[in-house]
Each structure stands twice: as structure tokens, then as C-alpha cells.
DNA sequence: CCGATATAATCAGCCGCCTTATTATTTGTT
DNA sequence: AACAAATAATAAGGCGGCTGATTATATCGG
């Protein structure tokens, strides 16, 4: 049963084969570990390909969603970095690209001349409102392959996994709690 | 109650909140989708931090494992790229870095002057044999938080998820079903 | 008021990933 | 033999991630 994975995914298959040579390794845990990574990989790549068809990627989508949900219409770039889970330096480059693409705009803060306020543009809003329903539709078309109880069970186990890792690395950069239901 | 957590997991929380505003969205599917991504994220970052303590990352580890398992002791760089699921251009840069670090070595192929053969160095082998058991130990320490039936069930559901995505995108770049020429 | 410190954003430089050329070299056809 | 096509590896250039340094501006203590 597990060997189905072996032929299809050289990357994870080779890691699994390698781990089986490590004495004391529990193959079921190893298999789980690699499958979590592989599934995340598969889903993330798929989503990336989907978003790329609309000129987006995960990072840009998150920035758009965050800005769209901003109560006062804008965020500091440092605030965006924190919420999007990237460094401040990274958000600078990301915003550069998105500004060039016309999706966001930066305006100097009138009260603090060090800061600038970032807001979503009309173009960015239009794109977001086009892509979001498509993304929902796409993901639901795929994940409806799992039954409702299966989905519920999977979420439960994923939460437990997240908690296990959070407990093991309590000093990680981000608090990293489970997504609330 | 969920709103307390809003501040703590901005990235995936904001996506979930945003999706709940899309008409026709199934919140349970959306939650599953985001939890798969989030779990992969958490595990991948954790592993990355673990490997970084030994001067490695996922890509370098895979290259070392692949080279270590090479039957004739070496691989073409193109073969490595395919097996590690990265482009040929990417493997060039990766090998450059690893060659500088003394983990791998490139030698010209005597039969095809276009090609070079990549092999793991003694230093690379030592590092691999040091890190692999530590990685096993580390991952098992964390994932033993799930019971054996839970792990089994989770693997089963992850397989089903992988299959759902594979079925939806049968023409992915790295089909892993190489077409024999 | 002024100097020390803290903060916002960016820059510099590295890595890894991509796609699209480019350069050698082989192979295949005529 | 010669030329076209395929192939191996790399280079070029962009994006996005990081850390650490830098610049400008606020703020706080004396």
C-alpha cells in the first residue's frame, strides 16, 4: 500500500528509503512525516499554478486579502509583514512588485514621515474579487473527493499535528496556533 | 470565540475569514484546504530550522540522499534535477553552493564531454550520516504525539488528498511518469 | 535643547526557485 | 563529410525568502 508512493514521487520515496536504513526508525512515523510534507507540497504547488493563471501567487494573494480587510483602508508595511508572516525586507520587495503591477499603492503617512501606508487599488480589488470565488470553486471541486466525515477527521488530525509541532518548537518566530474552526 | 484567535494566526485566518465572505463557499472545505497548507507550512518550516542547525536545508538533504543512494556512485546533474523535482537550472545553483561547501564534487564525464558526474564527498557522507538519525529522532519525538491508529488514519486521508489533487491536475510539469523517447 | 536610543522602511547580499536563452557537444540524416 | 536537430549544462534575469546594515525620523531622558 505505501509503495504506491514510491513510484510516483522520487523525492519523498528516496527519503523514505533512506530513513528505512536508519536503525531505530519507526517507518510509520517516517511515512507520516513525509506524507505531510508531500501533501503540503502538492497542494501548495497546485494552488500556485492556479494563482499564476491570474498573475498572482500565495504571497500576493495574502497581501491583497489583508489590505482588502483593513478597517481603515490601509496598513503599514511592517504590519503587513507581520500578518503575512514574512520579514520586513521581504514585504518591501513584494510591495515593489505589486505596486509595479498596479495592485497596491503606497502613500506617505502624514503623522510619521518614516512610515508609509499601503492600500489596495481599484485594480487590485477587482482582481481579488474575481479570483477569490474561482479559488473557492477550484478547491472545493478537488476536495469534495473527500466525504464530509473524512474532511472533518482530517482537519482534526491536522490540528493535532500542528499542535505537536508547536509544542516541540515553542520559541518559533510565530505563535503558530491552529486555524480556528 | 474564534475571534480571539484572529490576531494570532493572521495569514491563514485572514484567508479563512475572506473565504467566508464568498457566496457559495463551503466553510468545511475551506477550513480543510487552509489547514493542509498551514500544516505543511508548519512542518516544513520546522524541518528547515532543524536542518539549518546542521548547515542543510530540504533541497541539499535530498541531493545528499540521492547521491548517497546512487548505485554507481554518481548522477548526472540533469538526473538529480529530475529526481529532486527541481529544474535543471536550479540544480546548477544548488550544486554550486554544495560544491563550495565541500559536500559534493563534479567530475567531467569521460564519455560525453557535455556532461559531468556529481558525487557525494566524504565530508558530505559524514554529514548525511550524522544528520539523518537526528532527523528521524526529532520527527519521531514530535509525531509520537499522535497515536498509531491516528497516524495510520492521517496517512490514509493524506493519500486520498494527494490523489484528489493529482486527478485534478494530471498534466503537471513533473509528471514523474516519464515518457520514454 | 540635545544626545542616546528606538523604530519604519529600505538596501545589500545571499540562497533557492523559476523561465528563457546560450554554449558545447553529440547524434542523426542525407 | 556536413549540416540539422537534440541534449547537457550553464548563464541571464526575475521573484520571493532571509539576515544584517543603513537611513531617516521619532521619542525619551537628562
Q: Which residues does strand C reach (CB under 7 angstroms)?
A: A 76-79, 88-89, 91-92, 95-96, 106, 109, 112, 114-117; B 57-60, 85-90, 93-94, 97, 100, 112-114, 173
Ranges A16-20, A89-93, A130-134, B85-89: which has the least confidence: A16-20
Q: B178 — contact with chain A (CB < 8 Å)?
A: no
- Residue B87 CA and nucleotide C21 C1' are separated, in Å, by 15
- Pairs of residues, one from chain A and one from chain B, whose beta carbons lie less than 8 Å apart: 264
Residues 6+ apart with CB under 8 A from B126: none
Query: Confidence band (pLDDT; 50, 70, 90) for A155?
Result: very high
Which residue is the nearest neighbor of C20, CA to C1'?
A: B89
Instruction: Give me the mean pLDDT over the B166-176 stretch.
Output: 57
Is the pLDDT at A85 greater than 70, yes or no? yes
Cα B49 from Cα A171, distance rounded (Å) = 11
What is the distance of C-alpha B174 from the center of its chain?
Answer: 14
Range with the poorest average pLDDT among A5-19, A133-147, B64-78, B161-175: A5-19
Q: Which nucleotides of chain C are near protein (any atom < 7 Å from a CB)?
A: 7-13, 15-21, 24-27
The model's pTM is 0.86
> With 90 as the cut, is the pLDDT of residue A89 above it?
yes
Identify all chain B residues contacting A148, using CB atoms and an 8 Å cutoff. 28
Q: How confident is the model at residue A22 (pLDDT cuts 50, 70, 90)?
A: confident
* pLDDT exceeds cutoff 60 at B173: no
- Count Cβ atoms within 10 A of the Cβ of residue A2 and give its class: 0-12 exposed, 13-18 middle, 19 or more buried: middle
Q: Which of residues 82-141 of A touch B (CB under 8 A)?
A: 82-85, 132-133, 136-137, 139-141
What are the Cα distances from residue A31, in Å, to A36, B10, B158?
9, 30, 11
CA distance A152 to B65: 36
Q: Specify the pLDDT at position A132.
A: 92
Residue A79, SS3 per DSSP: helix
Beta-bridged to residue B119, according to DSSP, are B105
- A12 or A167: which carries more pLDDT confidence? A167
Nearest to A143 among B33, B46, B132 (CB): B33
A:42-71 Cβ neighbours of strand D under 7 Å: 57-60
The DSSP H or E segment spanning B76 is: strand B75-76
DSSP A94: H
Tell which residue, A106, A154, A60, has the closest CA to residue B160: A154
Q: Is the CB of B16 under 7 A from strand D?
A: no
With CB atoms and an 8 Å threshold, state whether A179 touches B38.
yes
Residue nearest to nucleotide D7 (CA to C1'): B114
Residues 49-78, chain B, CB closer than 7 Å to nucleic strand D? 76-78
CA distance B127 to B177: 32
Chain D: positions less than 7 Å from a protein CB are: 7-13, 15-21, 24-27
Q: Extract the C-alpha cell encoding B101.
A: 561547501
Q: What is the pLDDT of residues B96-121, one digit of tens each?
A: 999 999 999 999 999 999 999 999 99
Which amino acid residue lies closest to nucleotide C7, measuring CA to C1'?
A: A114
Nearest nt to the CA of A56 via C1' is D15
CA dist., res. A6 & res. A12, Å (int): 8
Which residues, other chains included, contact A63 with Cβ-Cβ below 8 Å and sequence gap of 6+? A80, A84, A91, A94, A95, A98, A104
| Phi-psi region at B24: left, alpha or beta (left = phi > 0; alpha = psi -120 to 50) | left
The model's confidence at residue B43, banded by pLDDT at 50, 70 and 90, is very high
Amino acid at each position: 500500500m505505501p509503495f504506491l508512493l514510491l513510484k510516483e514521487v522520487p523525492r519523498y520515496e528516496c527519503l523514505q528509503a533512506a530513513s528505512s536504513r536508519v536503525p531505530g526508525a519507526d517507518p510509520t512515523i517516517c511515512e507520516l512525516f513525509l506524507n505531510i510534507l508531500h501533501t503540503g507540497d502538492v497542494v501548495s504547488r497546485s494552488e500556485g499554478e492556479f494563482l499564476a493563471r491570474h498573475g498572482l501567487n500565495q504571497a500576493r494573494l495574502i497581501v491583497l486579502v489583508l489590505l482588502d480587510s483593513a478597517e481603515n483602508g490601509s496598513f503599514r508595511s511592517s504590519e503587513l509583514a507581520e500578518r503575512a508572516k514574512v520579514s520586513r525586507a521581504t514585504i518591501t520587495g513584494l510591495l515593489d512588485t505589486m505596486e509595479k503591477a498596479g495592485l497596491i499603492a503606497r502613500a506617505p503617512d502624514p503623522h510619521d514621515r518614516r512610515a508609509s501606508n499601503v492600500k489596495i487599488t481599484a485594480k487590485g480589488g477587482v482582481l481579488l474579487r474575481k479570483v477569490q470565488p474561482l479559488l473557492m470553486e477550484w478547491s472545493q471541486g478537488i476536495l469534495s473527493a473527500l466525504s464530509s466525515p473524512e474532511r472533518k477527521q482530517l482537519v482534526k488530525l491536522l490540528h493535532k499535528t500542528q499542535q505537536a509541532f508547536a509544542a516541540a518548537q515553542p520559541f518559533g518566530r510565530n505563535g503558530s496556533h491552529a486555524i480556528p474552526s
